[in-house]
A and B are shown apart, each in its own frame.
Chain A
């Protein structure tokens, strides 16, 4: 197969990220352990270069056309998601500066693995063929498996990585099995061709349902939707905290992108078949994630369950379908990246010396000792809970509107109820911080990277809350390309 210039142009951002990752593996040898931050800085520069090229491609004729024989496409949808992914990766890297020194895992591979994962995520957002999606999702997951177990001396981290990798392999098998069914039914894995084949109602055999269920299960694992979520709490708790943030914002968003593309592009003709299944996973995730989060004592674990709940909201957007549904999911994933990484930067700030800062009770009375930090945490918690005027409110509201426009009022009601339940455990943290007196003296880390990350996250959380119009329009334009 001969590739033209257009093919090569389309993948420049991915090539930059992957190439930089390879190069940095070598550069890493030349850099002393104390100065590994140089690797981080170069990684961030690589992401910035990729972002620049992504932006550059927007105006060119490379956009909107499938390249590499229909396996890859650069469109508004993928570009929007790529920016969310750049953001999540850069913020997570900035959060890591301090943390990796604290945990003594200050190595160059840490950042290069994140870059490799990012390249996989970017391809997942752009891939328009089931097989390239599968490969991209694997490329994105495998470095994360390693990163989860990066705290080599911590048994929790090793256990989490082990569980994640085994269950990940299991779910990949399920996903691939589903893909093979689709191929068996339609004779193709290219999404628009799949849609074309499925337009014929005689293709809607029971095998198609089995394929859909397999795909839901396989992707459901990647985005941690109930009942395929079991790995998430353990992995989130065990992983290094910046990686936990990274996983919940980056790979999850990329997998959401892949899910959106597969279901709203490839399987759109079978909408009536998959909508119930996806709705069930969405509702289960909402209910389970929000309720079980209440019982948690470890804040990372609590955020793991909360992220399961948030997947429920995102899937509801998919259920709503259409441009509005898709763009509501996109907007939500952007919002989620800001607010969730913001919350994680506070948690990382609490990690200092002997103090782990992972228990919820550690936050008692924080407002008295660290007023600014407590205020930022309050913003992030309010946003996660979905209270106005934060971005979380707009994100949820947009999804609910999409649902109501499609006449799915019942689902919207469940979602609203569950966000009320969810508010309980976010606001509990705020109550602890503001209403109680501090028990133990709190130490906090100070790192320039953390401050920048916090500032970006807080700004994003507020900006997307008070001035959503522009961003929603962006998401709508991008979502219209599906």
Chain B
């Protein structure tokens, strides 16, 4: 019982010493703490530790089982990596907040009862708010305030749910919660708010882009993933989560297509990726739960790496709008490579981490005969590839060279990225390294021919799509309106609306009438006019022209029938072949990458033919 040391306690209590240490020793200490926490996770055994009595209840601070170890494992690893990445920050408070935040996430992972859970839950909210505030800009301050308000409401829901639950069951133990009833509903709302499930997830893309560079990396790792952990623990198999997860995956991806702020785009990706996990929890089979845990594990690594990459760009250039960036890969090639490794991971490219975990979830959906879920998740993975791995790096690193002064970020940032990148590849190549950590025994092989062919096709066709529509997909100066609009502007709008309600109703009705009915009518009539003009007349014209060609043949009835008709037909065929030829000639662009792409596309077409026929 005594040989267990809570890794969260190491971080939280250890952070007190930070301000008192001088220069170099402090840096070493900053790395020592997460290393100790990691060693503690590595050496711990399953069991129940640090239990105590309170209000006649058993409180368990240390419930150690396979599920909590997986999450603790990745939480402590990512704390170390992110600390390396953020080592240059000269702000003791920032480091302390980060440690408290990471420690609380570990606390959530080991919490055996709801009270402990709520305490660490609130710790997480406040310490992560500090990571936003330490950006020390006006926008960050506002975003941080909104962030904490949302999380306090979530925490209140959770607490209310827990108390209701306690009044019914007289137990605070944190175990599976039966869905149905107000108590479970409130607890679920508390959890899914932290998991950023829409419509409760708008805080995430609101706050993360305003956080400090390394703060955002921490935030990408802990809040949503600890909520995923809580959902696995409490609501595995709840069908509502399946649909919420699917919606979430799509919702996130749609916003990424239009988003311009590089870190906000990545924030929407978190939503989309957590959608996979939430959907997997909703499926609830052993394989799905394994998939959710594994995906959380790898997602923390590559999502952190993505944030590190874009954070480096922000750190070096001070710019965070994709439209203001471009052509900087020459100046920061290492950052670019690391970012792309993360991009390949998140898109599920074989041999990278995402492939071996995402496919688990998708396969679980397939095995449970949920074809639509399967299809949507597969398509979302194409969208992920499109926006994170093709569009964003294209706009940021490649694209038009805007002559931005850029250089590689400091060595510690590069090292942090390199560590995360190594892990992404390690897990991609040796998935069993991860699989043996998972809560259930894994009987899943990611590298089968079908999987590889399927993944290759999705990626290549997405690439093709990107290639063809590159111009259209280019980032634009946009503001994406999300549900946070309601608590940002909604209140104001509501006040105005209420004030002018009497006068307003009249104008709204007439406006609506004007817009909907009159405009629609005009549009319909214009359309039918155009249809009439274009299509019907066109057909008649065409017929007329044909007749005028053929007419003389029949009317003159002379011997030229043969020469006119036969030659005409032959010439017509020849003419169309010639025009076909000149349009096909355009395939030959002269660009070598087009040619190589044609070879790949040809390979794929043949593969498809083969699999269609067999």
Is B605 interfacial (CB 8 A cutoff)?
A: yes
Interface of chain B residues 197 through 225 with chain A (CB within 8 A): none
Besides A213-B606, A220-B602, A227-B598, 16 new A-B residue pairs in contact (Cβ under 8 A), listed by A number? A170-B599, A205-B449, A210-B453, A214-B603, A216-B606, A217-B606, A227-B601, A228-B598, A230-B587, A230-B588, A234-B588, A273-B610, A280-B606, A281-B606, A292-B584, A296-B585
Interface residues on A, range: 35 or more
Query: Are B613 and A276 closer than 8 Å at their CB atoms?
Result: yes
Q: Write out, one digit per residue, whether chain B residues 577-612 have a CB within 8 A of any chain A CB (1) or not (0).
A: 110111011011010101110110111011101110
Q: Which residues of B contact A214 (CB under 8 A)?
A: 603
Measured CB to CB, the residues of A under 8 A from B are 162-163, 166-167, 170-171, 174, 205-207, 209-210, 213-214, 216-217, 220-221, 226-228, 230-231, 233-234, 273, 276-277, 280-281, 288, 291-296, 421, 424
A–B Cβ pairs within 8 angstroms, 20 of them: A163-B595, A167-B592, A174-B603, A206-B450, A207-B449, A209-B610, A210-B607, A213-B606, A214-B603, A216-B606, A217-B599, A231-B595, A273-B610, A276-B610, A277-B606, A292-B588, A295-B578, A295-B584, A421-B577, A424-B577
Say yes or no: A227 contacts B602, CB within 8 Å. yes
Binding site for A on B (CB under 8 A): 449-450, 453, 574, 577-578, 580-582, 584-585, 587-588, 590, 592, 594-596, 598-599, 601-603, 605-607, 609-611, 613-614
- Min Cβ gap A420→B in Å is 10
Q: Which chain A residue shows the least CB distance to B589? A: A230
Interface centre among B595, B596, B601, B614 (most CB of A within 10 A): B595
Given A209-B610, A230-B588, A295-B585, decide whether A174 and B453 contact each other with a Cβ distance below 8 A: no
In the complex, what's the smallest C-beta–C-beta distance from B57 to chain A, in angstroms?
57
| Residues on the B chain within 8 Å of A221, using CB | 599
B592 contacts A166, C-beta separation under 8 Å: yes
A171 partner residues in chain B, CB cutoff 8 A? 599
Q: Is the CB of A210 within 8 A of B588?
A: no
Q: Nearest B residue to A225 by beta-carbon distance?
A: B602
- Chain A residues within 8 Å of B587, by CB: 230, 292
The residues of A that contact B599 with a CB separation of less than 8 Å are 167, 170-171, 174, 217, 221, 227-228, 230
| Chain B residues, CB < 8 A from A213 | 603, 606-607, 610
Q: Are A292 and B603 in contact (CB under 8 A)?
A: no
A294 to B611 alpha-carbon distance, docked (Å): 34
Q: Given the interface contacts A291-B577, A291-B580, does A217 sit within 8 Å of B602 by beta carbon? A: yes
Q: How far is the CB of A102 from chain B (nearest CB, A)?
A: 26
Please give, as numbers and ranges, the residues of chain A lying within 8 Å of B607 by CB-CB distance.
209-210, 213
Residues of A within 8 Å of B582, CB to CB, are 295
Complex: A207 Cα to B450 Cα, angstroms: 9
B595 close to A230 (CB less than 8 A):
yes
- The residue that B609 contacts in the complex, of A231, A276, A421, with Cβ under 8 A, is A276
Give the residues in chain A near B578, CB-CB below 8 Å: 294-295
Q: Which residues on B sit within 8 Å (CB–CB) of A226?
A: 602
Contacts of A293 in B (CB 8 A): 581
Interface of B, secondary structure class, is: helix
CB distance from B449 to the nearest CB of A (A): 4
- Complex interface: chain A residues within 8 A of B602 (CB): 217, 220, 226-228
A304 to chain B, nearest CB (A): 10
Question: When chains A and B are docked, how far (Å) is the Cα of A130 from the Cα of B585?
Answer: 35
Give Cα A230–Cα B598 distance, bound, in whole angstroms: 8
Bound-state Cα–Cα, A111 to B580, Å:
41
Q: How many inter-chain residue pairs (CB < 8 Å) link A and B?
A: 90
Q: Nearest-CB distance from A418 to chain B (Å)?
A: 11
Partner of B577, one of A174, A281, A294: A294
Chain A neighbourhood of B588, CB < 8 A: 230, 233-234, 292
Residues of B within 8 A of A162 (CB): 592
Q: Which of B578, B582, B587, B606 has its CB near the most chain A CB atoms (within 10 A)?
A: B606
| Cα separation A431 to B581 with both chains bound (whole Å) | 20
Instruction: Tell me, in angstroms, the Cα distance from A163 to B581 when the chains sit together.
Output: 24
- List chain B residues, Cβ under 8 A from A216: 606
A contact residues around B580 at 8 Å (CB): 291
Please give, as numbers and ranges, the residues of chain A lying within 8 Å of B590 by CB-CB distance: 234
- On whether the beta carbons of A163 and B577 are closer than 8 Å, the reply is no
Closest to A228 in B: B599
Q: Which residue from chain B places its CB closest to the CB of A279 in the assembled complex?
A: B609
Residue of B nearest to A234 (CB): B590
A273 / chain B contacts, CB cutoff of 8 Å: 610
* A227 (CB) vs chain B CBs: closest residue: B602
Q: Which residues of A contact B610 (CB under 8 A)?
A: 209, 213, 273, 276-277
Choose among A163, A213, A220, A231 the residue with the greatest number of B CB atoms under 10 Å from its CB: A213
Tell me the bound Cα distance from A15 to B530 in angstroms.
Answer: 76
Most A CB contacts (10 A, CB to CB) among B581, B582, B601 go to B581
5 interchain residue pairs of minimum CB distance: A227-B602, A230-B595, A295-B581, A294-B581, A295-B582
Asked whether, in the complex, the Cβ of B584 is within 8 Å of the Cβ of A288, the reply is: yes
A278's nearest neighbour on chain B, judged by CB, is B606
Picked from B581, B595, B609, the residue with its CB within 8 Å of the CB of A291 is B581
Are B609 and A280 in contact, with the CB atoms below 8 A? yes
Task: Among B449, B588, B596, find the residue whose CB has the most chain A CB atoms closer than 10 A.
Answer: B588
**Inter-subunit contact B603/A209 (CB<8 Å):** no
Q: In this complex, what residue of A is CB-closest to B595?
A: A230
Tell me, in angstroms, the Cα distance from A374 to B135 when the chains sit together: 81
Chain B residues near A424 (CB-CB < 8 A): 574, 577
Instruction: Find out whether the CB atom of A210 lies under 8 angstroms from the CB atom of B449.
Output: yes
Inter-subunit contact B603/A217 (CB<8 Å): yes
- Min Cβ gap A482→B in Å is 24
B596–A167 contact, CB under 8 A?
yes
CB of A196 to closest CB in B, whole Å:
23
Q: Which residues of A contact B585 (CB under 8 A)?
A: 292, 295-296
Give chain B residues whose Cβ lies under 8 Å from the Cβ of A210.
449, 453, 607
Q: How far is the CA of A360 from the CA of B607 in the complex (A)?
A: 39
Chain A residues, Cβ within 8 Å of B609: 276-277, 280
CA distance A226 to B610 in the complex (A): 17
Residue of A nearest to B613 (CB): A276
Closest CB of chain A to B209's CB: distance in Å? 40
Instruction: For the complex, give the distance between the alpha carbons of A234 and B598 in Å.
Output: 15
A205–B584 Cα distance when bound, in Å, is: 37
Please give me the residue from chain A that is nearest to B590 by CB atom: A234
* Beta-carbon nearest neighbor of B614 in chain A: A209
B588 CB → nearest A CB, Å:
6
Of chain A, the residue at the smallest CB distance from B592 is A163
Flag if A170 contacts B596 (CB, 8 Å): yes
B594 to chain A, nearest CB (A): 7
A381 to B246, CA, bound (A): 62
Partner of B605, one of A163, A170, A227, A234: A227
Q: What is the CA–CA distance of A277 and B614 in the complex, to the nearest angstrom?
A: 12
A221 and chain B: residue at smallest CB distance: B599
Q: Chain A residues with Cβ under 8 A from B577's Cβ? A: 291, 294, 421, 424
CB neighbours of A277 from chain B (8 A): 606, 609-610
Chain B residues with Cβ below 8 Å from A163 are 592, 595
CA distance A277 to B609 in the complex (A): 8
**Interchain CB contact under 8 A, B595 and A167:** yes
Cβ distance B452 to chain A, nearest Cβ, rounded Å: 9
